[in-house]
């Protein structure tokens, strides 16, 4: 049984997970409808659909993992289940970070106003950039997969005759955790680099606009600000997500501390939930579609409110 605080915290995390599924489903549907309408899928559209889909999977994995560990740990902690869950989570996690990183880089290439020859060359060859990013995903996944396989093998040998529920020995935990996530870290560093370069681009652009003494913010500045909001929010929320997942894994060593585990689950769930709505608000197409949905819901709510009054009037006239 969970305590009152644990139950409240678990409810908050579950609501976050539900909102994350709704927000990312909305993003995927809007872009799929645009794809069907135009019979063409842009790279940005593909990345948005992939990002939303992978985040939906991440939400389900995190939620099922948390509930399984809390309410049926004995069934969940078998070696075969741990192995399958680890490989699935690693694959989906790589895809989530890769889609977000690729989206960050394409936003940078589309918006940044840099005069450097390398940036200019990349802007003209986005297809090659896309192939390069796919290669980075494959390499990082292979590296992380090999480390996960090694850790699983070592864990099976070292704990074959033990009943402990730990994945790794405590003294090796930090090293193994970093090695397993080396691909994720490398992709995340690419997103950090894109954010840093975009901030420099905004600074240079703002300086240029000040020298021109224009009395308004141009569209390029607005695009810079929106892209930077997307990147910075992704960086902050992903760091919180990484911390939350780390807390969940650390709780394998202290399985009796359910409150700390649920706290980690709550922090991790912020990333797919909040960032999806930040993306909706910073993307013009998604924001317009979201406003239309809200207006439609508001219209339906008004229609339902008016229905009883109408029927009451009709009854009065019949009498």
Identify the domain containing residue 160 by its residue range.
Answer: 4-294
Give the model confidence (pLDDT) of 72-112 as tens digits: 777 666 667 777 878 888 889 999 999 999 988 888 888 77
For residue 149, give the CATH number of its domain.
1.20.1070.10
Listing DSSP states for 33-93 in one string gives HHHHHHT---HHHHHHHHHHHHHHHHHHHHHHHHHHHHH-HHHHTSHHHHHHHHHHHHHHH
CA–CA gap between residue 112 and residue 106 (Å, rounded): 10
Please name the helix (run of DSSP H) or strand (run of DSSP E) that holds residue 108, with its range, or none.
helix 79-111
Domain for residue 315, yes or no? no
Domain for residue 230, yes or no? yes
Q: CB neighbours of 181 closer than 8 A, spacing ≥ 6?
A: 144, 242
Give Cα separations from 6 to 2, 148, 198, 261, 309 (angstroms): 6, 31, 41, 9, 45
What's the confidence (pLDDT) of residue 60?
93
Domain for residue 308, yes or no? no
Q: CB neighbours of 221 closer than 8 A, spacing ≥ 6?
A: 202, 205, 206, 209
What's the confidence (pLDDT) of residue 25?
94
Of 102, 61, 25, 62, the residue nearest 290 (C-alpha): 25
Domain for residue 179, yes or no? yes
Helix (H, G, I), strand (E, B) or coil at 157: helix
What's the confidence (pLDDT) of residue 201?
76
Domain for residue 309, yes or no? no
CA–CA gap between residue 6 and residue 263 (Å, rounded): 8
The residue ranges of the chain whose pLDDT is under 50 are 157, 159-168, 215-216, 310-319
CA–CA gap between residue 218 and residue 112 (Å, rounded): 14
Domain for residue 311, yes or no? no
CA–CA gap between residue 46 and residue 43 (Å, rounded): 5
Q: Structural domain tally of the chain? A: 1
What's the confidence (pLDDT) of residue 59?
93
What's the confidence (pLDDT) of residue 147?
80
Domain for residue 317, yes or no? no
CB 97 within 8 A of CB 182: no
Give the model confidence (pLDDT) of 144-161 as tens digits: 888 877 777 766 545 444
CA–CA gap between residue 176 and residue 80 (Å, rounded): 20
Give Cα separations from 202 to 44, 187, 234 (angstroms): 21, 23, 18
């Amino acid at each position: 049984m969970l305590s009152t605080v644990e139950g409240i915290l678990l409810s908050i995390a579950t609501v976050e997970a539900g909102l994350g599924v709704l927000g990312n489903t909305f993003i995927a549907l809007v872009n799929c409808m645009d794809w069907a309408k135009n019979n063409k899928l842009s790279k940005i559209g593909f990345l948005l659909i992939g990002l939303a889909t992978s985040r939906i999977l991440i939400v389900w994995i995190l939620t099922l993992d948390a509930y399984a560990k809390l309410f049926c740990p004995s069934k969940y902690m078998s070696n075969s289940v741990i192995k399958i869950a680890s490989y699935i989570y690693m694959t989906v996690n790589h895809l989530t970070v890769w889609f977000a990183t690729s989206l960050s880089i394409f936003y940078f290439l589309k918006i940044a106003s840099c005069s450097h020859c390398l940036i200019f060359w990349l802007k003209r060859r986005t297809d090659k950039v896309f192939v390069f990013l796919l290669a980075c995903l494959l390499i990082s996944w292979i590296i992380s997969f090999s480390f996960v396989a090694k850790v699983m093998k070592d864990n099976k040998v070292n704990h074959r005759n033990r009943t402990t529920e730990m994945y790794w020995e405590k003294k090796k935990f930090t090293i193994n955790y970093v090695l397993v996530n080396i691909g994720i870290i490398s992709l995340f560093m690419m997103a950090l680099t894109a954010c840093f370069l975009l901030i420099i681009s905004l600074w240079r652009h703002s300086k240029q606009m000040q020298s021109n003494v224009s009395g308004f913010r141009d569209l390029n500045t607005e695009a810079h600000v929106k892209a930077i909001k997307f990147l910075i929010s992704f960086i902050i929320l992903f760091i919180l997500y990484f911390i939350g997942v780390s807390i969940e894994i650390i709780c394998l060593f202290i399985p009796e501390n359910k409150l700390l585990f649920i706290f980690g689950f709550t922090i991790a769930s912020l990333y797919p939930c909040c960032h999806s709505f930040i993306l909706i608000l910073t993307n013009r197409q998604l924001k317009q579609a979201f406003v239309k949905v809200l207006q439609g819901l508001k219209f339906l709510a008004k229609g339902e409110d008016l229905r009883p009054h109408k029927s009451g009037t009709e009854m009065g006239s019949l009498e």
